[in-house]
Amino acid sequence: MSGISFDISDIDELPISERAFKRMPNLRFLHVYRSRDGGKYGMHIPEEMEFPRRLRLLNWEAYPSKSLPPTFHPEYLIELNMPNSELV
C-alpha cells in the first residue's frame, strides 16, 4: 500500500496545487497531521484539487477548507478522520 504521512507542525504556510495528487493514482492513504501545537497554520486547498480516486484512508488534522472538493470520490474510502477541521 502506498501513502503519505506528512507532519505540518513546523510549516507556517503551505499552498497546495490543484494538481498535487494528479500523478499519484495509486495513493491509498493520506495522513496530514501536527505532532505538536504552536505556530500559525496557513494552508490553502484549491476547490479544484483532486484526491486520488482509490484513496482508502484520509486522515487530515485541521483540514482548512469548509468542504471537500466537488471532485472527491469516496467509493473506496474506508476511513475518514478529520479532527479539528473547518468542514461544515
pLDDT score recorded for residue 38: 60
Low-confidence ranges of the chain (pLDDT < 50): none
pLDDT score recorded for residue 59: 95
pLDDT score recorded for residue 84: 86
pLDDT score recorded for residue 58: 96
pLDDT score recorded for residue 18: 85
- pTM > 0.85: no
Contacts within 8 Å (CB) and 24+ apart, 58-67: 58/29, 58/30, 58/82, 59/29, 59/30, 59/31, 59/32, 59/33, 60/30, 60/31, 60/32, 60/33, 60/85, 61/32, 61/33, 61/34, 61/85, 62/34, 62/86, 63/32, 63/87
